[in-house]
Structure 1
């Protein structure tokens, strides 16, 4: 399937309407539809990675459906790379639902993505399950959001064992090592494992970024080599929701596994987040990542909701 080399806004989804970028007006229209969907569903229909792809260098392709001069629906597609299948995310403005647009965008994304392409259903809502049923799709992957309280309940004491040192982010000089560890820790992960220097920079420039909340583990004998890191995040309060902390990324260099770094780094971040004040903390983990699920469960996290990735492959 060919892709348009323009930033045009298609009137309806079609095989030649995929664009390599969004102009500012279109991106703003997608964000308005996104905000209406969040208000209607209580779930973000698009991931942070998709929202960042509007304004940063990204391999993502974009499909926008207009109705009555406004963005009615949107699909984001990251092409297959290496062993990872294409991944899509789809948004339909709540005011435009019930007209088959969601199914059309999902079908277009799966067709453009090629064999084994997948599409995320954040929260796996009833409407998403209905579309999947009509298209004959099955769940290929589950991402769990897990949560635990911070205002109540004790945290284990943070004890750094001998032979390890914990510090916080020292600036862009750390970026190359962060990327190396992230790539090694998540080489199996279709989204996380593909981070670039631009991805680090975009997050560093975000309003929520706090260098004091990015914890780094090193061996004092080789302090320039990062063994693992925990990047925390605080989602600010909104008129309807309190602030919430996030275990944003925990990555351990495979060469450093077996030293309890995952638990140590997670715990360091939890203590920091509790001091920041949010009453609750969340994280995302693959449902089949048994080691991570075990660590987080022992630290008091429970499954709050599930995102599902659907595919047409039988």
Structure 2
């Protein structure tokens, strides 16, 4: 039987290199990152529990973020190395995660878990853990075949410039919270979360665009992301202030960032969008994106 180790939040930093190696093996097999950006932020910040196999080269791991605020949901993400699948390791990690939650999470705290790629085995594990699907996230993609995806002219009264790290932080965080007030993750980003992303090797303010109005106030943004060594750029986040909706600013920002990525020598552009965000899904379909992957969130409170 595989021996599992539980690492308290203060201890996870010592495991991150091995965890990254395991995650990379999962990506190679599944074409999906097993852990989201925010989970890596929490792990790097010492705010997440980690359950791993005991071997020197990890073959399985479960990352568990348990907010101290019981009104905020637990977030679980799990990966098993390709060669270790089908032998019960996933089930063992789920059991160990449930045992950890019984000790560390509040009694009525909602538990959420992501399956990246919506694999049948992951759905089977989720069903056995008494959680139900509550959210669908699409990864959409489009091939880059030219250096422009179309006219990105902004509406009258607005202009687009690049993000100034430090100087723009507070105003951007306020705009982001307003634009994503109903989003369970993006709208809750803090200064610490922004700082963590600015410290990543993929961060480049040249690909982070701010739209401001005639008074110089931020009205929208398009943050692009190009992981080092990747042939794909990402529409990382696009948001506009609610009072600009219907002006065409969101589409202009989207195209502005896409044209930036198209001129960067990449092969394709990807983005992530919730199934329930039909206006955004419809816009991306109209721009030529197609769904290439589906992630599913499961919850104990469905």
What TM-score, normalized by structure 2, do the two folds share? 0.87
The equivalent residue for 2:60 is 73
Which ranges of structure 2 fall in alignment gaps of 5 or more residues?
none
Superposed, 1:109-188 pairs within 5 Å as 109=97, 112=101, 114-152=108-146, 155-188=149-182
1:79 deviates by 3.2
| 1:233 is aligned to 2:222 | no
Higher mean alpha-carbon deviation, 136-145 vs 282-291, is at 136-145
The equivalent residue for 1:6 is none
1:95 deviates by 3.8
- Counterpart Cα distance in 2 of 1:85 and 1:122: 18
- Counterpart Cα distance in 2 of 1:184 and 1:79: 25
The equivalent residue for 2:247 is 259
Superposed, 1:31-50 pairs within 5 Å as 31-50=20-39
Pairs aligned (count): 294
- Counterpart Cα distance in 1 of 2:297 and 2:95: 14
The answer to whether the 8 Å contact 1:106/1:119 transfers is no
The answer to whether the 8 Å contact 1:65/1:73 transfers is yes
RMSD: 2.5
The equivalent residue for 1:298 is 286
Change (3 A) 1:184 1:103: farther
Which ranges of structure 1 fall in alignment gaps of 5 or more residues?
1-10
The answer to whether the 8 Å contact 1:236/1:244 transfers is no
- Counterpart Cα distance in 1 of 2:167 and 2:181: 23
SS state at 1:77 partner: strand
- Counterpart Cα distance in 2 of 1:133 and 1:292: 30
1:293 deviates by 0.9
1:77 deviates by 2.5
- Counterpart Cα distance in 2 of 1:18 and 1:54: 11
The equivalent residue for 2:183 is 189
